[in-house]
Structures are given as C-alpha cells and as structure tokens.
Structure 1
Amino acid sequence: MSPTEDAPRRSWSELSTDLAGEIFGRILCHADRVRFGAVCRQWRISARRNPLPRQFPWLALPNRTFYSLPNSAFRRLPLHLHRHRQLPHAQSSCGEWLVFQHHDGAYTLVSPFSTATTMVLPRMPTDPPVTHDTPPPLQKLVVCSPTLVAAVVGTRPSQLLLCRPGSASWSCRHDRLQALEIQDMVSYQGKLHALVNSGDLLSISISEDDDSHAGGEPTVSSVDCLVRISPGRRTEPPLYLVESEGALLMVRKENHSTREGSYSDDDESYSSSDEQSNVILNPDDDDSYVPLYSAEQIELQTKFEVFAADMAGSRWRKVRSVGGDRVLFVGHWCSRSVHVVPDVHQGKAHNIGDRIFFLQDRGADGYGGQQWRTVEFFCTIYDMRERRSQLFLKTPLRPVGSLGTWLFPPSGRAAGMSEHC
C-alpha cells in the first residue's frame, strides 16, 4: 500500500473553528461568504460566530444585473421570478429588498440574498378613493420589522402609510403628517424618523399594541419635531437621511439645479477627464449664452453638505467629515453608512473612507422622456476631504422605471444567498 493510501483522509469539517473564522474574516465578497458557510456545518457555525460589519452594497440596475463592490464586476441578479411573471422590473429598493410592482398595483419585496424570502404588500390607496383611479406614486419604503412596513407616497403633500406584510390594506392618518413633503425616512431607535423638504426632522412613534398576528392595524401615536429650521434658513432638496454610528445625518446634494451657475469657489472644484467637451453653449440672444450641461457634467459638478442632528439644540450641525473609516452610499430609494477598512491589496477608491457614493436621482436632468432609450448611467464619488466629485462608474442602460438603486446585504448573515450570484 502506498504512503498516500496509508494517510487517513481528513474532512474539511475538522478545520478548527478559530482558523475557519480567520479565513472567513478575510473573505470580502458576500457570495463567497455564503459559499463558505455552505461547505459544512462546522464552517457554517464558524461564520455565525464571527459576525461581520455591514458590507458594501450592490448597485442594482433595471436590466436585472448588479455591480458588486468591491469585486468590480457586473453579474446577473440571483432572482428566480418564475412565480412572479407580473413583475416587469424593480421599481425601487429598501435595504436588502428589491421592490416589484404588480400590474394590479400590489407590491412584492424580493431579497436576492435569500431565495425564499419575499414580502407581499397591498395596492396603495387612492385619496380620495375612486374606482380604477391610479394610486399615488411610491416615493419611499422602509421595512421597520418583519411585521411592519412604512411607505411614503405622493408629493406636495406626501402621505405616510403603514401596513403589515400580507395584510389587505394600508393605514395611517395623522393631522401633522398631511401637509408635508417627506424627502427621506429611516427606522432609528425604534421609531420612524422623517426628513421633510424644509429640513425639519420628525420623530414618528408607531403604536403596535394590537397583536400583529391577529391582523391589528399599526397607527401613528405621536409626531415630534426634533430639529426645526427657521423659515429664513430653509434648505433645498434633494436631501438624504442616513444613520451613521448612532447619529442621524442630513446629506444635502448640490448641483447646478440647486445652485445658480457652476461651482467656482477657490477651494472647491470638480474633476473630469475633459471638463469642457460636454458643455454645450446655446445662444439665448445675441449677447448671452446659457450653459447646458450633459448628464456626466452634472454629476461631476455635484457637491455635498453633511449635517449631524443636534437633538438637544434642535438644530443641524455642519460636519466636515463623515469619518475616515466611513463611506456613505446615498440614493433616492435607500441610503446607508458603511464601515470600511483600507485594504492595501485592493488600493481602490471604494476602500477609502470619508467619501459619498451617489447615484442620479430619478428626475435627473437629461433623462426626461427617455424611459425606453439607452442612456448613460453614472455612479459618482464625492470626496469630503478634497471637496470634489469624480466618476466611478459609467454604463449604458434603459431607465425602465428607475435608473439604479443600492442593495445592502443583511448585516452579520452569511447564509441563504443564491449560488448563482
């Protein structure tokens, strides 16, 4: 018998949990982490004993592909929608959830990180109720818990709606929420927090005294204004609300549509490989010209201001940095703060903190009336230290219903994702 045949075969499950945990901690890709946990029971236990910080998001595009950070590659979304043939495209996202709208107006939430995880939400109500009337457009969706979902619908004013997944209808009527335009909303410390277009920050308490399994409807029990902006100091949208290291941040996006003229501050600039090539000058009259910027130029001119909520002083305090170990990912549908550790082996921009990754808003200039045409889509990075934007990603797509949205893998979970990703 050969020495090879004499040597006993060892199982992968015999690898010590400490060593397996060390290996697991070095895996950056969420899909590889899932495959690690699928090897055997011991490795799955090791993965669960070593919870990881919140991971980089995926950038989900309307063509059902996603861009994986930090792997920098386009892949097909691991969705099996043969049971949901009514779902033409994802309208929006909410954390780990893609939001699909049915032809009848109802919604299905699908998690690409779990092949069997879905939520079904009812059709948005019309106000006033009219037979066959079109429901107000969905502006924001927040999954507060497995038994509570909040939605913002309509504009000027917007409405806050609440429901339990699987229920037949939405509910919510509160006098203090009827005349507001909600810009963004997050679930924070057990309450909903809403940022309105004026810059005011509201805390919304939800009563869930009724048994959720018995079909009790959630209701708004109180609304408190935590930060109030004086009328003379109102801010302009778009605004984003982000929880970061226990604090609430208001992120204000500025570009040529929210600020007159181009940026010419001595200490601020925007970057572009060819600054003037995409700027078109159209004659307004014989003596003046009005600059019309391309979509790429608009993104590269974008700047951000970040403010932290000072609850005690009922004010927003401007901050110059989001943290050397923090990156903000902001978008119309979903925004998050992610802890990052610089990786000398990667050496790429998305491994460095104090930056803001941002996407075009749904109504971005240059996209009007082009829902079925192929256009250029941009993901851009704003450097808080250098106060400049630079292009991170450019790809052609058809903006069917949306341009793109962030998807965030569930924190600390390393199982359940499709092996097709």
Structure 2
Amino acid sequence: MVLTTPNPPPSSPWSSSSPVSPLPLPCLALPDGSFFPFPSTTSLPFPNAAGYHGSSSDYLIFTVSGDVSGDGYYLLVNPFTGDTVRLPSLSRIRFVVNSGMALPWRNIADDQRAPYGETTTVRKVVMCPGGEFVAAMVGDGKLGKIAMCRHRHGDEGSSSSSRWVMSGHDAWRWFDDIAFYDGKVYAVDDAGSLFAMDTGVDNLTGEPEVAWAKIVIKVSDDSPPARRRWRKEKAPPSMRYLLVSGGKLMMVHRAAKAMSDGGGTKTTTKFEVFKFKADLVSPRWLKMASVGDDVAIFVGRWFSFALRVSKYKLPGNRIHFLDDDAFRRHCCPDDKFGSYDMADGKGARGHLA
C-alpha cells in the first residue's frame, strides 16, 4: 500500500495517468506492479515498474541489480515528488555482538540460523520520523529479523553510503510486522507477542545502534517447533499488522475462517483490533470494539495506516485490506481487495477492472 500526494508535479510520470482529487485519497499498491486510487476499482500499471518490490508510506521500493562494479541496492522512489532514497542490499551485513563491537562484514547467509540465503530478502521497510534511520524486516516469509541502516541525506548516489546493521545475538523469529513508535522499532510475531528495540547512533562507528530486541508483551505458544511448522503450513492464514493511529500503537489481527453457510463451507476473513497499553507493570493488548466512526484503517503486508475519512464522505469504522500472498491463494484468488465493517463484523470483497 502507498499513500499518495494530491497534486503530482508536471515532471512526474504519473501526472497524466493518476486522477487528482482536492484531498489526498490513498492509492493502494498491488503486489503485481499495479495500483488503484481508492475507492475506485480500476487498476493502473506503475510506469517503469520493472524491479518493483513493495511500498513504504509514500515510496515505491524497487530492487536494482548489481553489476561488475558493485552490489545491487534497493531504491525508494516517491512517484509524485521525485524524491529517492537509496538503501544497501543484503549482500553485506554488520553483525553487532556487543556495543561498539562487530563481526567482520559478511553475507547474511553466513549466519547459520538464518533462512536459506537466496530466499532471504527485505520484507518491509519503515523510516523513522525525520528519515535518518531506516528499519527493515528481513527474512524468507516465515522467519524474520530486524536490520537497521542510517540514511544520510545526499547519499542517494553512493552505493556504499550505508550498510545494514543487525544484532548478532537476536534470534530469527516468526515476525509478522514492524513499526516505528515512540523512538523505538516494534515488532509483532505470529502469536501476538510484541518486541521493542531502541534506536540511536553508535558513537564509535556512526552506524545505528542495535541491541537484543526486548520482549514487551509475551503471548505463549506451547506447541513444539516441529508441530508448529506443520500447523503453519496446514492452518488457514493469519496475519498481524502494526500501525500508529492517534499517537497510539495498534495491532490488527486478520485471520481466514472456514464457515458453514448451509450449503457448504466458505472461507471468510475476520479482524480484531488491539491497542497497546504501555503499563509499566504489565504491558498488554487491549481489544477495541471500534476504531471510530471517522476512521478507516488500511492494512497490507508492506504498509498499514489509519485515515480520517469523513472529509471524503466515506464510511468510518472500516478496515480495508489487500488480498495478497497467502490470503489470496487460500481465500479468493480472483479478488484483489476487501473491506470489513467493525460494527457488524461483515466483510465484502472486490475485483479490479
């Protein structure tokens, strides 16, 4: 998903193909390299979409292959303003083992606990307010870990301007999502447990500080690892998304459910929304019955956000979602998006023209 700006400049390749509204409506980016301006159901192709990898807030993420002169990299492009951010590839990672101490540069596959190297890629990118720090969730679609790099404005043309830094102590976990909140990187795993990692600059190296991601909320899963892996392959898909709304960290849990309709069994999607309660004694998730009559939440694997919708004359208390990855394969392969009404617990799916 990507949130657009209302008036693309004349030099933008989208200026002639993207509808312009008096207020910035969200534009939803699909995994196949196309987009549709919400709430329209007509999809349009990305101009120059070769190498499209995902989206992060106002940016589209592209992978750029390396050549004999150097490594490839990730390029973030705002298609409306022309702003770019260049991020390093995962070909070299600095594994920090203690504050100020690190192992030599190495490939991520040199970590024997990591997923197989060729399947390990950036699964999500988030930028902290101000844009100095960039966090990425890297992994193979199941196991994941947090990597950090420091983006310095003006470094876009240098392939060696920054490197990913990762904790050498932290485990590879079943992370679903990450988000910046209150000066930290938060991550949620597939059971709903919440982890937090402080952000800062290592005074010795000038790189981001990375430390062991501390567990903030523990949700137990007592299944043995072998049984857990089997269950993940067989059970209907489930996903947890993190976002910040109204200054609060929120988690949206999405799960496919098999339901009987009298004439057989059909698969539907159910949602639950939780708010993070930062209690010093017992931090916890608080379930929310509503997200507000003036608020709609948009969730996707690459980016999730909340938007006040009354000024667009759109209904609130809704969750809008993309049917990507496992959900699209498991539920309705021909549907690209859907909406869920928090008031009555009913959902509707849509097919793009």
Query: Please, what TM-score do these two structures have when normalized by structure 1?
Result: 0.60
Q: Using a 3 Å threshold, how does the CA distance of structure 1 residues 310 and 232 change in structure 2: closer, same or farther?
A: farther
Counterpart selection for 1:303 from 256, 267, 270: 270
Contact kept, 8 Å, 1:56 with 1:338, in 2: the verdict is no
Deviations 1:184-236 (A, max 9, x none): 1111122111112221112210122549xxx8211214633322224469998
Question: 2 CA distance for matches of 1:242 and 1:122?
Answer: 25
Deviations 1:324-357 (A, max 9, x none): 111000011111111121555xxxxxx1110000
Tell me the equivalent position of 1:21: none
Question: 2 CA distance for matches of 1:224 and 1:243?
Answer: 20
Q: Using a 3 Å threshold, how does the CA distance of structure 1 residues 244 and 232 change in structure 2: closer, same or farther?
A: farther
Name the structure with the higher strand share.
Answer: 2
Tell me the equivalent position of 1:223: 213
Counterpart selection for 2:318 from 340, 345, 355: 355
Counterpart selection for 2:58 from 72, 96, 102: 96
Counterpart selection for 1:333 from 302, 313, 319: 302
Q: Does 1:106 align with 2:106?
A: no
Contact kept, 8 Å, 2:60 with 2:78, in 1: the verdict is yes
Letter in 1 for 2:55: S
- Tell me by how many angstroms 1:244 deviates: 1.2
Tell me the equivalent position of 1:169: 163
Counterpart selection for 1:157 from 137, 140, 143: 143
Mark the runs of 5 or more structure 2 residues left unpaired by the alignment. 11-21, 67-71, 92-106, 112-116, 152-158
Q: Does 1:320 align with 2:313?
A: no
Tell me the equivalent position of 1:268: none
- Tell me by how many angstroms 1:381 deviates: 0.2
Contact kept, 8 Å, 2:175 with 2:189, in 1: the verdict is yes
Tell me the equivalent position of 1:138: 122
Structure possessing the higher relative contact order (Cα contacts under 8 Å, 6 or more residues apart): 1
Question: 2 CA distance for matches of 1:379 and 1:121?
Answer: 30
Question: 2 CA distance for matches of 1:173 and 1:103?
Answer: 26
Contact kept, 8 Å, 1:227 with 1:310, in 2: the verdict is no
Tell me the equivalent position of 1:267: none
- The more displaced of 230-239 and 103-112 is 230-239
- Tell me by how many angstroms 1:34 deviates: 5.2
Question: 2 CA distance for matches of 1:109 and 1:316?
Answer: 33
Counting only pairs closer than 5 Å after superposition, residues 47-126 of structure 1 correspond to structure 2 as 55-61=24-30, 64-70=33-39, 73-77=42-46, 79=47, 81=48, 88-104=50-66, 105-115=72-82, 117-125=83-91, 126=107
Q: Using a 3 Å threshold, how does the CA distance of structure 1 residues 263 and 326 change in structure 2: closer, same or farther?
A: farther
Q: Does 1:394 align with 2:351?
A: yes
Letter in 2 for 1:316: W
- Tell me by how many angstroms 1:30 deviates: 6.3
Question: 2 CA distance for matches of 1:181 and 1:322?
Answer: 27
Counting only pairs closer than 5 Å after superposition, residues 358-373 of structure 1 correspond to structure 2 as 358-364=321-327, 366=329
Contact kept, 8 Å, 2:179 with 2:242, in 1: the verdict is yes
Counting only pairs closer than 5 Å after superposition, residues 182-197 of structure 1 correspond to structure 2 as 182-197=175-190
Contact kept, 8 Å, 1:342 with 1:352, in 2: the verdict is no
Question: 2 CA distance for matches of 1:183 and 1:61?
Answer: 19
Tell me the equivalent position of 1:127: 108
Tell me the equivalent position of 1:262: 259
Deviations 1:218-273 (A, max 9, x none): 121463332222446999841111211111111111213xxxx3167xxxxxxxxx
Q: Using a 3 Å threshold, how does the CA distance of structure 1 residues 30 and 360 change in structure 2: closer, same or farther?
A: closer
- Tell me by how many angstroms 1:60 deviates: 2.0
Higher Rg of the two aligned structures = 1
Q: Using a 3 Å threshold, how does the CA distance of structure 1 residues 333 and 31 change in structure 2: closer, same or farther?
A: closer
Contact kept, 8 Å, 1:108 with 1:119, in 2: the verdict is yes
Q: Using a 3 Å threshold, how does the CA distance of structure 1 residues 64 and 140 change in structure 2: closer, same or farther?
A: closer
Letter in 1 for 2:123: Q
Mark the runs of 5 or more structure 1 residues left unpaired by the alignment. 1-28, 37-51, 82-86, 265-274, 280-290, 345-350, 369-374, 397-421
Name the structure with the higher helix share.
Answer: 1
Contact kept, 8 Å, 1:237 with 1:252, in 2: the verdict is yes
Contact kept, 8 Å, 2:191 with 2:219, in 1: the verdict is yes
